[in-house]
Structure 1
Amino acid sequence: MEYIQPRPSSIVAGLYTVRDLGVDVSILHGPSGCSFKHARLLEEDGMRVLTTSLGDNEFIFGGQEILEKVLRYAEKEFSPKRMAVVGTCVSMIIGEDMESAIENSGINTPAIAVNIHAGFRENIDGVIAALEPAAKAGWIEETELERQKELLHAANMTEKLRGAAYKPYVKPQRGDLKHVVAQKLLECVKSGEKGIAIMNAKKETAYMFADVLKALWEVCPGADIEYVANLEDRGLPKVRRDAENIRNGLVDSGLHAEYTGALDEYGATGDILGEKILECRPDFALISGVPHAIPPGYLEGIKVFSVTNGPRQVEPLKEFGHDYVVVEVDLHPKTLGVREIVPSEFGDVLRTMK
């Protein structure tokens, strides 16, 4: 056993991936309570999530007819451009043929079957399970499929080396007090120290992590700070739209950052960002999003202020030399369904100290 703490579900990972692929309606083929929280959250982001609500009878006799019925209902009720059927543990155990159900349902909407269940140790299996049929259906190029696989494995390795999976159990913590950390950060700026502010965020979480950079810029517009953000134009459809929205938001605020990496490359940008830090030779670094992607060797000799949304990320960040760590609690639900930068707690604390 590698972990004895809860880990992200591969079923949920599949759901988020079909959303990024432009799916309008996703059908969970399993019990009504499967992935309930995330299904509700994803509806806030514009994707309808239905369920076949399998019960005891279907566990024995199968639920293919129910799935076909729900597929027809979804097409008629929502007129989607794309649909996806996402598997669960139940559909896997009883051996449901979801591709056959799509074909036999008679729907005209392009649809894919994501054969996944929660019995995978790594949630990236759910992402790959969604991307492979998408490539087969022509929704993405084979080159993008291979790119995504490389990025997923890089992100996974980052979590195992310096993230919440770096040991079997990591105690969740709330991090340092935001007003204390903000005060320390502003002391660095006011004393004339040189800084670098980096956003290296995962997908839609960047809508809030970008606000950390935006707030620092608003409070210290003339400071000697270099700004870097992973907002290059690459990735799946939604990822690219999110990056464009955030770029526009930063520019509108007067902040012109250097774009290094894309929103789906957060786990593979560590050395590139590390080299940026060496080039800048700062006295301090502010890193929001996935700070642990940057190997600690690049951060030696500078004060490091990190902003994460993972309570289990506090311990490893501290262990690997980050001086101050703050946690943006409930960031994820606050960044679903938005199309512009949203205020962060840490950013707002900085603003009060202007």
Structure 2
Amino acid sequence: MKYMHPRPSSIVAALYTARDLNVDVAILHGPSGCSFKHARLLEEDGMRTLTTSLADNEFIFGGQKPLEDVLRYAEEMFHPKRMAVIGTCVAMIIGEDLQSAIDGAGITTPTIAVDIHAGYLENIAGVLSTLEAAAEAGWITQEELARQRQMMRAANEVERLRGAASQSYIEASRGDLKHVAAQELLRLARSGKKGVAILNAKKETAYMFVDALIAFHDKCPDADITYIANLEQRGLPKTRGDAERIATELAERGVNAELIGALDEYGANGNRLGRRIREIRPDFALITGVPHAIPPEYTKGVECFSITNGPRQVAPLRAIGHQHVMVEIDLHPKTLGVRSIVESEFGAVLRSLP
């Protein structure tokens, strides 16, 4: 399918994956403006992101020397433990040999080359290219690479079936009014209805998505609600650390949650969560993060309150029967670089109600 609304970039996906591998410095080999927004945001998350700033003359004569210069500069200036060179469309078109530049720079820092561009239909190409380079360098095991491939396929399938890749064009929406949905959620919980509150979030977005569960528990501590979170500690180094921190803080704030799935298993977690919903047989469900991962047969007859950070995810969620759909605007930028739970808009609304 050809999508007519913007889709994530494979280059950006490669950058985020490098960060999850504890890369200290990532070098984009391309024009200075390539992936600017995400490169800047990732610096707030502790990974320095440099660029070779290729200009029109390098488009013709090649950019190996600028790349070697930046590699040497990065090593001398930042003393990193790991680096990654991330390709761009320009590097691909002019046929740059990233590994040759790494070898020619004379650096000693372990560095991987990720040959990638933005012309892939799905952004998981950037993830897998980075992980394959990491496995070849011995940074991850072949078993973890195989697991990551499985997770990426599952996430891709969820998006294709019920997500932002399910239609050629999806109108962006801010979703339902949060205070209206919050009032109904509290009414159900306080009337004795049985509920389930689920965190099924992607990586660092969990730092904010989990806040809705905490706020709900704060407002209805004695309600018949089962709390579930995908905070098992599996995956790449940063992902495991995030899960441990969030799970610890969640418990400290009084929420006793069942752990089902890991933060990188959000796409493959749907059937496990669905089977648990079927066992609980709730009247309503609060699902935050990637609600559409749960196949709709498991939520049939359940009043669903879903929280996403994708404005183009509202219509697909409504199409599978979720009655209340809210969007946490600008959630991702607010969770980069954090190491503790961040208050969400929906959580703040819940706390403000009587």
Residue number in structure 2 paired with 1:170:
170
- Aligned partner of residue 306 in structure 1, secondary structure: strand
Task: Using the aligned pairs only, state the percent identity.
Answer: 68
How far is 1:77 from its partner? 0.3
Which residue of structure 1 lines up, in the alignment, with residue 232 of structure 2?
Answer: 232
Correspondence 1:64 to 2:64: yes
Q: Which residue of 2 aligns with 1:345?
A: 345
Structure-2 separation of matches of 1:175 and 1:4: 21
Which residue is equivalent to 2:91?
91
Shift in Å at residue 37 of structure 1? 0.3
TM-score of the aligned structures, taking structure 2 as reference length: 0.99
Q: Distance in 1 between matches of 2:340 and 2:248?
A: 9
Correspondence for 2:183: 183
Aligned residue in 1 for 2:29:
29
Q: Which one-letter code corresponds to 1:82 in the other structure?
A: R
**In the alignment, structure 1 residue 198 sits paired with structure 2 residue 207:** no
Match of 1:241 in 2: 241
The letter for the 2-side match of 1:77 is M
Instruction: Give the aligned residue type for 1:338.
Output: V
Q: Does 1:306 find its partner at 2:306?
A: yes
Q: SS in structure 2 opposite 1:208? A: helix
Deviations 1:188-247 (CA, angstroms, capped at 9, x unpaired): 011100000000000000000010111101111111000000000100000000001100
Amino acid at match of 2:237: P
Amino acid at match of 2:39: A
Q: Partners of 1:352 and 1:177 in 2: how far apart?
A: 14
1:1-354 aligned at under 5 Å gives the runs: 1-354=1-354
> What is the distance in 2 between the residues matched to 1:244 and 1:75?
31
Quote the Cα distance in structure 1 between the aligned partners of 2:2 and 2:193. Answer: 42
Query: Which secondary structure does the structure 1 equivalent of 2:210 belong to?
Result: helix
Deviation at 1:154, TM superposition (A): 0.4
Unaligned runs of 5+ in 2: none
Compute the RMSD of aligned alpha carbons: 0.6
3-state SS in 1 of match to 2:122: coil
Structure 2: how far apart are the matches of 1:245 and 1:38? 24
Unaligned runs of 5+ in 1: none
Return the alpha-carbon distance in structure 1 between the equivalents of residues 92 and 58 of structure 2.
13
Which segments of structure 1 move beyond 3 Å, counting only runs of 4 or more? none
SS in 1 for 2:342: coil
The aligned length equals 354
Query: Could you say what secondary structure the match of 2:340 adopts?
Result: coil
* AA aligned opposite 1:166: S
CA deviations on 1:59-90 (whole Å, 9 max, x unpaired) are 00000011000000000000100000000000
**CA-to-partner distance for each residue in 1:259-284, whole Å, 9 max, x for gaps?**
00000000001110000000001000
Please list the CA deviations of residues 256-313 of structure 1 after superposition, one character each: whole Å capped at 9, or x if unmatched. Answer: 1000000000000111000000000100000000000000010111100000000000
Shift in Å at residue 2 of structure 1? Answer: 2.0
Tell me the secondary structure at the aligned position of residue 101 of structure 2: helix
For the residue of structure 1 that corresponds to 2:292, the secondary structure is helix
- State the SS of the aligned residue for 1:305: strand
Tell me the distance in 1 between the aligned counterparts of 2:307 and 2:60.
48
Distance apart, 1:11 and its partner CA: 0.2
Give 1:4 shift. Answer: 1.2
Q: Give the secondary-structure state (helix, strand or coil) at the position aligned to 1:197.
A: strand
- Distance in 2 (CA, whole Å) between partners of 1:336 and 1:220 is 30
TM-score calculated relative to the size of structure 1 = 0.99
How far residue 115 of structure 1 moved from its aligned partner, in angstroms, is 0.3
